[in-house]
């Protein structure tokens, strides 16, 4: 307790001599702790309580004689305890107001007697006995700064002679030292909560207040002056011998409504000093008031006028509460993971400029608080970083908060706002981008699981207590005991949540993670074996990440011990199942190290040495960890940059499923990136993926199929799959309809592969289409989307359309049109549309009212579905009997489709134009859509560069010309000139459609003039030479019309 008393307690005069203990919260808590210790001493350590002090503790008491009752001998002038030492001296003696106590037993009794005065008594006692240990045990045990040898001396003495006295002394010394530690710790806690001022913050505050001081009604103060103009290099104005006490500067403040105040600003806060003496430069440094955390708080207490006027200044940033509210609000917006709360903390601290800049390392304030003088060495005189940072902060503050005259009050209120908002939003953006970068494969595991608390302490399972005991042994044991406890802990069922949470709740995770930072390999292995198991639990994973476990495990990956590497990688694989953890692994260089683990002997070579086998095991664990990590896009990139792809390709040749699963899993995950898809193709990985489709392991099969699914968007890859014989295993895997995940992956792969015609032919050979049709019913949506997608691709071949019909595929397909899943609807409409190209199929579709269902999908909010439905409608109209009648029977259907011409989506527009082309084939319908204003809507679309749209738009226009005065209307709505420009496109299908449209439009003379003006003749003359007969004919017809008009004009002119 000596150290705590000399260092932590706040004595009024910092010099030696008898100072008094100030009544500060810190001191009060120190005293309370000491009192608690002494009070319980006699009951907890009865033997030591009887020990007689070397010298009595002596102080002036305020206790009255009357409070002493039984156990004391009370006379007129003295009170003596009945308890006496060997020499028959009383252990407690009170004469006049001086009390002498010589044992802990008496001390604790005294405190009991003192009741509410015990705080005062303890204070008086400690003030009178600055180093009580000396009096209790003798001068040899005085508090020595630095290394304390007294324990060692005692130990020696205990060894030498079996003196029971020394043993008790030893025990007391130990107890006191323990108390000392406890006191230091608790005072640290106190101090760290306290606000510490810096010269920079004070200066800033003074500068600010000066701006609002002066003569006049509305200023906050009349004047505010430093007592000294000289500023030391550390920013302090107090003389160096006062700086030692943490004082920064002295101020003379003249408020409007009180006498001048003499104020000391110190690191501990702001308080009133004794003011200036008669001689000018003499300041009475003694503290005369409470300590306030800053100048403004102080002045608020002192001057009513100040409070009143400062409100008028509208400087909201003085008011911390509003600040914090502000932040909290901001935080709610994007608070999404645990790390956030930490950020919030940093944030509010950074901005609360009147507070001390708190250094980022936690340990720093601790030693600062211990030795204020040292702090000054650090912060003040030396040009330390802290100081610089603080200065910088001032600068920033100055820039960001210009002093604005009162007229701009309103704007001023907000001024601190936008600054913060900006930085917050910046952070938000960066976080967002990170979020976006997470791939779609993020699993639901990512979601925070609600914390489940143990209900009450009563029904804790017995494991809880046993685990608690083991954790205690791990904590307090040497490596031997630790290893035993770790092994014993492994005997619990660590897969059980009760055990997992018990380990966490008794503080075991922290201990286990700390063990990873030790040198002892056995402890590390034991700890990792447990962490590996319990990290199956998502709450545990988060806690491990919170304790910084990932960073340490990443470091362990460098260890030469292979077992250790394996365990670390496996544990990382478990922990890195959520975003923040994956980011942590990357940011600490984990990806590079994990990729490094993949490097092992070539696979498949026979007779490996145990050494090589171990290497392969390490690689397997590395792949497992990478698999988990690869769910984040940035990690995919990092794996690639670390050279992971060739290594994965190497491992892919392994014959073992337990190696292949994580490798293919990683590849499959990464195949969402184009760079990986290219690499999978060029590094010849398709061959191995195909080979493993025939594996025994369903999980492996699934990942292979899934990788092929992602890669087969590429045509070459599709061909490679076929070349390596991958289509047959895919087709046969369709028969395994139990494992839905596998089925989804396989059908996906078939879908993408079926984009190539050669592959479709193969699939037909393997009778895959029949199987796919069977899968149209009773399957989860993920499977259905792929099955229907695959059928849609297969239907591009006429033969397959017949197959689908024959095995009854059309009714389930049409049935699926009533679904809601967007991806599924897009695929179903496509498949139905493809089927509808066959008149026989169309009959069935029509019977099932499929067209009406397609039509109603035009109302679907997703443009993809709208477009796909409109495309599907085209072949339906083409192939249905009485198509015109059918279309008219859809109430409001024509209006609906015409209105879709207002869509923004080019694909929708093109598809609707195509549908309109088909609808307009029926004259009656053409009349209806004309009434719905199809002409101006089409004309509006004319200015476009999209060739697909141009093509279908031109066709629609050409069809719509067939009715009434639509030709003229197109001319009036300025559709002609843009159409002429279509002829300059590179797309021949656009040429053909445009020439036909122009031919139709040229029936109207005004349109001919417009065309001619836009130079159509030259363009059409070129088209006349085309090999496409339709184009030739249309171009020639158009030219003929223009020419005829010219001739007619000439004839009219010249008679």
Binding residues for another protein (CB under 8 A): 174-175, 178, 469-470, 472-473, 476-481, 483-488, 490-491, 521-522, 525-526, 560-561
Separation of alpha carbons 414 and 315, rounded Å: 9
Tokens, residue 766 = 């393997």
Sign of CA dihedral 907, 910, 915, 918: negative
Nearest CA-CA partner of 379 in 236, 202, 191: 236
Least separation in angstroms between CB 7 and another protein: 24
Q: How many CB atoms lie within 10 A of CB 674?
A: 10
Least separation in angstroms between CB 40 and another protein: 12
Q: What H or E segment, with its residue span, contains residue 955?
A: helix 947-960
Point out which residues pair with 254 in neighbouring strands. Answer: 223
In terms of CB distance, is 389 or 481 closer to another protein? Answer: 481
In terms of CB distance, is 489 or 886 closer to another protein? Answer: 489
In terms of CB distance, is 487 or 962 closer to another protein? Answer: 487
* β-pairing verdict for 261-266 and 269-272: antiparallel
In terms of CB distance, is 128 or 521 closer to another protein? Answer: 521
In terms of CB distance, is 176 or 870 closer to another protein? Answer: 176
Contact 197, 265 (CB under 8 A): yes
Tokens, residue 687 = 């061959």
Distances in whole angstroms, Cα of residue 136 to Cα of each of 46, 646, 1032: 16, 74, 119
Q: How many CB atoms lie within 10 A of CB 695?
A: 18
In terms of CB distance, is 514 or 539 closer to another protein? Answer: 514
Least separation in angstroms between CB 126 and another protein: 24
Separation of alpha carbons 833 and 838, rounded Å: 10
Least separation in angstroms between CB 526 and another protein: 5
Least separation in angstroms between CB 484 and another protein: 5
Least separation in angstroms between CB 492 and another protein: 12
Least separation in angstroms between CB 737 and another protein: 42
Could you tell me where the DSSP H helices lie in 87-198? 104-114, 118-128, 132-137, 150-160, 164-193
Tokens, residue 998 = 């122009």
Burial class (CB in 10 A: 0-12, 13-18, 19+), 1017: middle
Separation of alpha carbons 470 and 476, rounded Å: 10
Separation of alpha carbons 271 and 264, rounded Å: 5
In terms of CB distance, is 25 or 476 closer to another protein? Answer: 476
Contact 562, 614 (CB under 8 A): yes
Least separation in angstroms between CB 726 and another protein: 43
Separation of alpha carbons 270 and 620, rounded Å: 63
Least separation in angstroms between CB 129 and another protein: 25
In terms of CB distance, is 526 or 665 closer to another protein? Answer: 526
Least separation in angstroms between CB 465 and another protein: 12
In terms of CB distance, is 125 or 467 closer to another protein? Answer: 467
In terms of CB distance, is 151 or 481 closer to another protein? Answer: 481
Q: For the stretch 424-437, what's the b/e string if a residue is b when 16 or more beta carbons lie within 10 angstroms of its beta carbon? A: beeeeeeeeeeeee
In terms of CB distance, is 484 or 755 closer to another protein? Answer: 484
Least separation in angstroms between CB 181 and another protein: 12
Separation of alpha carbons 803 and 796, rounded Å: 12
**Residue 921: strand, helix, or coil:** coil
The CA angle 356-361-367, to the nearest 5 degrees, is 75
Least separation in angstroms between CB 487 and another protein: 5
In terms of CB distance, is 239 or 477 closer to another protein? Answer: 477
Least separation in angstroms between CB 360 and another protein: 32
Separation of alpha carbons 466 and 456, rounded Å: 18
In terms of CB distance, is 469 or 767 closer to another protein? Answer: 469
Separation of alpha carbons 135 and 55, rounded Å: 5
In terms of CB distance, is 178 or 658 closer to another protein? Answer: 178
Could you tell me where the DSSP H helices lie in 222-317? 240-243, 295-302, 304-313
What is residue 379's DSSP assignment?
Answer: I
Separation of alpha carbons 598 and 655, rounded Å: 16
Least separation in angstroms between CB 179 and another protein: 12
Least separation in angstroms between CB 534 and another protein: 17
Separation of alpha carbons 649 and 633, rounded Å: 20
Least separation in angstroms between CB 480 and another protein: 5
**Residue 622: strand, helix, or coil:** helix
In terms of CB distance, is 238 or 489 closer to another protein? Answer: 489
Tokens, residue 312 = 């008028």
Contact 642, 592 (CB under 8 A): yes
Contact 369, 193 (CB under 8 A): no
Separation of alpha carbons 1026 and 577, rounded Å: 62
Judged by phi (left if over 0) then psi (alpha if -120 to 50, else beta), residue 548 lies in: left
Nearest CA-CA partner of 787 in 800, 804, 801, 769: 769
Least separation in angstroms between CB 133 and another protein: 17
Least separation in angstroms between CB 522 and another protein: 5
Q: What H or E segment, with its residue span, contains residue 59?
A: strand 52-60
In terms of CB distance, is 136 or 179 closer to another protein? Answer: 179
- The DSSP-derived string for 407-424 is GGHHHHHHTHHHHHHHHH
**Residue 560: strand, helix, or coil:** coil
Write out the E strands in 791-906. Answer: none
In terms of CB distance, is 178 or 1030 closer to another protein? Answer: 178
In terms of CB distance, is 478 or 820 closer to another protein? Answer: 478
């Amino acid at each position: 307790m000596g150290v705590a008393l000399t260092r932590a307690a706040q004595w009024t005069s910092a010099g030696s001599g008898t100072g008094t203990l100030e009544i500060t919260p810190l001191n009060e808590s120190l005293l309370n702790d000491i009192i608690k210790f002494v009070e319980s001493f006699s009951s907890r350590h009865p033997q030591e309580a009887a020990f007689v002090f070397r010298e009595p503790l002596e102080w002036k008491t305020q206790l009255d004689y009357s409070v002493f009752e039984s156990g004391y001998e009370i006379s007129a002038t003295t009170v003596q305890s009945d308890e006496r030492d060997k020499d028959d001296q009383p252990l407690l003696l009170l004469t006049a107001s001086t009390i002498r106590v010589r044992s802990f037993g008496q001390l604790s009794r005294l405190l009991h007697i003192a009741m509410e005065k015990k705080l005062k008594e303890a204070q008086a006692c400690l003030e009178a006995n600055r180093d009580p240990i000396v009096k209790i045990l003798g001068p040899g045990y005085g508090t020595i700064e630095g290394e304390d040898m007294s324990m060692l001396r005692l130990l020696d003495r205990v060894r030498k002679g079996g003196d029971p006295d020394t043993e008790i002394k030893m025990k007391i010394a130990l107890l006191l030292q323990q108390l000392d530690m406890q006191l230091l710790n608790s005072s640290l806690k106190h101090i760290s909560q306290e606000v510490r001022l810096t010269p920079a913050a004070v200066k800033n505050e003074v500068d600010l207040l000066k701006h609002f001081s002066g003569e006049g009604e509305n200023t906050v103060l009349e004047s505010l002056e430093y007592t000294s103009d000289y500023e030391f290099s550390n920013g302090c104005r107090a003389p160096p011998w006062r700086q030692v006490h943490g004082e920064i500067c002295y101020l003379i403040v003249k408020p409007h409504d009180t006498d001048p105040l003499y104020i000391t600003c110190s690191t501990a806060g702001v308080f009133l000093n004794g003011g200036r003496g008669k001689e000018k430069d003499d300041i009475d440094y003694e503290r005369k008031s409470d300590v306030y955390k800053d100048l403004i708080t102080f002045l608020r207490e002192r001057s009513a006028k100040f409070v009143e006027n400062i409100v008028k200044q509208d400087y909201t940033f003085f008011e911390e509460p509003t600040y914090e509210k502000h932040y909290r609000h901001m935080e709610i917006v994007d608070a999404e993971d645990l790390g956030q709360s930490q950020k919030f903390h940093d944030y509010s601290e950074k901005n609360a400029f009147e507070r001390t800049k708190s250094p980022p390392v936690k340990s720093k304030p601790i030693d600062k608080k211990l030795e204020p003088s040292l702090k000054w060495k650090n912060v003040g005189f030396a040009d330390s970083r802290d100081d610089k940072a603080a200065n910088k902060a001032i600068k920033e503050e100055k820039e960001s908060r210009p002093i604005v005259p009162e007229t701009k009050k309103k704007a001023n209120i907000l001024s601190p706002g936008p600054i913060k908002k900006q930085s917050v939003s910046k952070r938000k953006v960066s976080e967002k981008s990170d979020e976006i970068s997470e791939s779609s494969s993020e699993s639901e595991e990512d979601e925070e699981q609600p914390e489940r608390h143990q209900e009450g302490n009563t029904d804790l399972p017995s494991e809880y207590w046993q685990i608690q005991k083991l954790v205690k042994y791990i904590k307090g044991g040497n490596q031997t005991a630790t290893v035993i406890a770790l092994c014993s802990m492994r005997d619990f069922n660590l897969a059980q949540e009760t055990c997992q949470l018990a380990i966490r709740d008794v503080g075991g995770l922290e201990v286990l993670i700390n063990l990873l930072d030790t040198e002892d390999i056995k402890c590390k292995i034991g700890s990792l074996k447990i962490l590996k198991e319990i990290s199956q639990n998502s709450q545990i994973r988060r806690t491990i990440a919170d304790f910084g476990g990932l960073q340490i495990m990443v470091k362990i990956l460098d260890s030469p011990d292979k077992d250790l590497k394996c365990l670390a990688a496996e544990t990382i694989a478990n922990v890195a199942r959520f975003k923040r953890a994956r980011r942590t692994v990357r940011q600490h260089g984990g990806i590079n190290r994990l990729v490094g683990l993949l490097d092992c002997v070539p696979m498949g070579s026979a007779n490996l040495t145990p050494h090589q086998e171990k290497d392969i095991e390490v690689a397997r664990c590395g792949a497992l960890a990478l698999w988990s990590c690869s769910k984040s896009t940035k990690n995919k990139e990092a794996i690639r940059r670390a050279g992971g792809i060739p290594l994965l390709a190497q491992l892919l040749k392994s014959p073992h499923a337990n190696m292949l699963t994580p490798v293919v899993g990683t590849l499959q995950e990464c195949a969402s990136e184009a760079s990986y898809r290219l690499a999978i193709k060029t590094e010849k990985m398709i061959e191995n993926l195909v080979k493993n489709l025939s594996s025994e392991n369903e999980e492996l099969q699934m990942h292979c199929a899934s990788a092929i699914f992602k890669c087969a968007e590429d045509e070459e890859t599709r061909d490679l799959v076929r070349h390596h014989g991958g289509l047959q295993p895919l087709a046969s895997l369709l028969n395994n309809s139990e494992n839905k995940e596998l089925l989804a992956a396989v059908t996906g792969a078939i879908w993408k592969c079926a984009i190539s015609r050669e592959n479709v032919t193969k699939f037909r050979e393997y009778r895959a289409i029949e199987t796919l049709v069977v899968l149209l019913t009773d399957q989860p949506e993920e499977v259905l989307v792929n099955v229907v997608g695959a059928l849609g691709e297969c239907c591009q071949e006429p033969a397959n359309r017949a197959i689908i019909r024959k095995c009854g595929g059309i009714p389930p397909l049409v049935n699926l049109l009533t679904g809601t899943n967007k991806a599924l609807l897009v695929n179903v409409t496509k498949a139905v549309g493809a089927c509808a190209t066959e008149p026989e199929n169309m009959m069935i579709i029509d019977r099932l009212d499929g067209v009406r269902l397609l039509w109603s999908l035009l109302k679907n909010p997703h443009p993809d579905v709208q477009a796909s439905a409109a495309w599907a409608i085209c072949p339906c109209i083409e192939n249905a009997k009485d198509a015109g009648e059918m279309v008219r029977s859809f109430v409001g259907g024509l209006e609906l489709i015409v209105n879709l011409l207002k869509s923004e989506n080019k694909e929708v527009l093109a598809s609707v134009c195509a549908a309109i082309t088909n609808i307009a084939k029926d004259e009656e319908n053409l009349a209806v859509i004309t009434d719905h204003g199809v002409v101006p809507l089409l004309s509006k679309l004319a200015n476009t560069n999209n060739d697909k749209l141009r093509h279908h738009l031109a066709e629609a226009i050409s069809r719509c010309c067939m009715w009434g005065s639509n030709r003229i209307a197109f001319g009036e709505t300025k559709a002609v000139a843009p159409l002429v420009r279509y002829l300059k496109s590179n797309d021949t299908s656009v040429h053909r459609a445009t020439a036909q449209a122009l031919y139709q439009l040229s029936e109207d003379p005004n349109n001919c003039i417009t065309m001619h003006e836009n130079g159509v003749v030259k363009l059409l003359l070129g088209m006349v030479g085309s090999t496409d007969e339709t184009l030739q004919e249309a171009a020639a017809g158009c030219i003929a019309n223009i020419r005829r008009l010219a001739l007619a004009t000439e004839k009219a002119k010249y008679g």
